[in-house]
Amino acid sequence: MPRMQSRMSEYHKWCKPCNSKHFQNDFNNWTSGNDNIDKFIQDTQLNANNRWKVIEWIPYDGFKGGFGTTHYARWIDGSIKKWDIKNQQWKRWDEEEMH
């Protein structure tokens, strides 16, 4: 059982200062077009204690889906899993279904 707990704790590790810096470095690469929304998203990214607390701006071209009113789409990149130190980018889950 200790081996499983070790894997689980490793899986759930989140370096708030490290990840906040990675998010901050990307602030100039995206915008919702609304300063208040951008600030809200950025504040959640800077203060996230784990990956489930992060909000990301996803532009329309980040989804696969229909045109017009969409009730279902696939997020092409998927949500953040962890920081990939070797490649200096976010490692993400595969495409996620959004309803």
Q: What is the pTM of this model?
A: 0.67
Question: For the chain, what are the domain ranges?
Answer: 1-57, 58-99
CA distances from 93 to 36, 62, 76, 83 (A): 28, 14, 10, 12
**pLDDT at residue 33, as a whole number:** 93
Give, as one character, the DSSP assignment of residue 83: E
CA distances from 83 to 36, 43, 69, 79 (A): 27, 19, 34, 12
pLDDT string in tens for the chain (99-residue length): 444 444 444 445 788 999 999 999 999 999 999 999 999 999 999 999 988 888 888 887 777 766 666 567 777 888 888 888 888 988 887 755 444
The contacts of residue 56 (CB under 8 Å, 6+ apart) are 41, 45, 79, 80
